[in-house]
Amino acid sequence: MNPTPRISFYTLGCKLNQAETAALQNAAEKNGYRLVSFREPADVMVVNSCTVTNRADRKTRQALFQARRRSPDGIVVLAGCFPQVNSDSSTEIPGVDIILGTRDKFDLYSAIADFKKTRTRHVRISSVDNRKRLSSAFIAATDRTRAYLKIQEGCNNFCTYCIVPYTRGNPVSRDFDNTITEARELANAGYKEIVLSGIDIGAYADSGKRLIDVLRALEDISDITGIPGIERIRISSIEMNTLSDDLIKHIGISTKIMPHFHLSLQSGSDVILKSMKRKYSTADFSTKVETIRKYIPEASIGTDVIVGFPGETDALFEETVAHINKMRFSYLHVFRYSARKGTPAANMKDQIPESVKRQRAKVLNNVDSRLRRSYAVSFYGTTQPVLWERYKNNLLYGLTPHYIQVQYPARINRHNTISKIVLDKNNIVF
């Protein structure tokens, strides 16, 4: 009897990429594979790539080299954004057997089957023209307690630093009825939390339905079916200018949508925002944050910030620091700008030295630590419901509605349950 073939995955890049990998991993057993760690030898090794920066390109190549070295006789798959915009150079990478573009990676298992028949390099890189909706691109990903429900793909903002519109295509939204049907199936399967994901999720539009309509329908699932879940709904990163006041107000009165917003600021300098071709000013951003806090005073508001964008002087960086402090974010995700070939910013004058980028990132990482602690401490003494996500060494770990990570001693594993605890310095994980 032949042993079950092993498959491993390595993921680079954004949370959406991670969710898509999880969806492909979830399909492994159904397709006759046993999932193993990327650190182990495997029959098939899949690198779900990122190409958002030149650094990401290097990491993709390194992962492919490691895969081939670890499993000399295995099948190596390069999938995702890197081959989508680097089709010629992708076919020149030694040791790669299957190359799949951004849309084609969802046909992973059929591509593997085809390769096994011919044993010749297999390349599928389809156009990312999203005028024809690709249903296979909207498969849900799940872990032990939450499900990532992808409802939107693509972007047409064309920020000067970003390659995503070229790798993911123009915006396209998932069929509304199909979205709700799968959410109902996920609730039936026992998932307590659904995270809505996409590249530009606020741009969701299908048959007159918007993001707020998806949220309302998800809230109604339990009432219609009598299923205990869905108990929590989160929205992944959303662009500030697609977050409507009506949506904010609705979240404010909802008992299921978590009071957690991730709004990408990118810079606190209007000069840099204009150079990035972001579609708002710092004043616009401030007004949006004020609106959130008007209707949801304790809301968690996190953001992304890029340091070292071309032309960012010391004074402009200080503007960013001052604006971040003024906004009182709950947390920051700090990125050092990395020039990406094919984007306008890569050819801009006044590129910033790496040493300066590292120093500025260090400054903002320190700000991030202070903001996280300050926000978490504001909940000391309050009773919060926690969805327990994992159990290790007699400790439960989970998240509050406001995205604060906590730990709690327990004799039994109660993952995928929700219980209330009083927050204090002993159970908040900083």
Residue 430 lies in a domain: no
Contact 180, 221 (CB under 8 A): yes
**How many domains in the chain?**
4
Q: Domain ends where: 242, 258, 274?
A: 258
The Cα–Cα gap between 285 and 305 comes to 13
pLDDT along the chain (430 residues), means of 10: 88 86 89 94 95 87 94 95 90 93 92 92 83 60 81 91 88 91 86 91 94 93 62 93 96 96 97 97 98 98 98 98 97 94 93 97 98 97 96 95 96 92 94
Length of the chain in terms of residues written? 430
Strand order in the sheet with 260-262: 260-262, 300-307, 331-336
Q: Is residue 153 part of a domain?
A: yes
Return the H-helix or E-strand segment holding 341. Answer: none
Whether 394 maps to a domain, the answer reads yes
Question: Which helix (H) or strand (E) covers residue 249, if one does?
Answer: helix 245-253
Give the domain extent around 417: 383-422
- CATH number of the CATH domain containing 361: 3.30.750.200
Q: Tell whether 95 and 146 lie within a shared domain.
A: no
- Report the distance separating Cα 338 and Cα 276, nearest Å: 13
- At 317, which amino acid appears? F
Q: Look at residue 233 and tell me if it is in a domain.
A: yes
For residues 14 and 112, membership in a common domain is answered with yes
pLDDT at 304: 97
- Is pTM, for the whole model, over 0.85? yes
In a domain, residue 134? The reply is no
Let me know if residue 321 belongs to a domain: yes
Check residue 182 and give its pLDDT. Answer: 87
Residue 35 sits in the same domain as residue 54: yes
Query: What pLDDT score does 430 carry?
Result: 87
Q: What is the spatial distance between Cα 27 and Cα 43, in angstroms, rounded to a whole number?
A: 16
- Look at residue 133 and tell me if it is in a domain: no
User: For residue 156, is it within any domain?
Assistant: yes
Q: Please name which of 384, 388, 364, 163 lies closest in space to residue 266, comparing C-alpha atoms.
A: 364
Select from 311, 321, 396 the least CA-distant residue to 352.
311
**Tell me, what CATH number does 43's domain have?**
3.40.50.12160
Q: Do 366 and 319 share a structural domain?
A: yes
In the block, tokens 């519109």 appear at 165
Query: Do both 280 and 213 map to the same domain?
Result: no
Q: Are residues 45 and 80 in the same domain?
A: yes
Q: 189: how many CB neighbours lie within 10 A of its CB?
A: 11
Helix, strand, or coil (residue 412) = coil
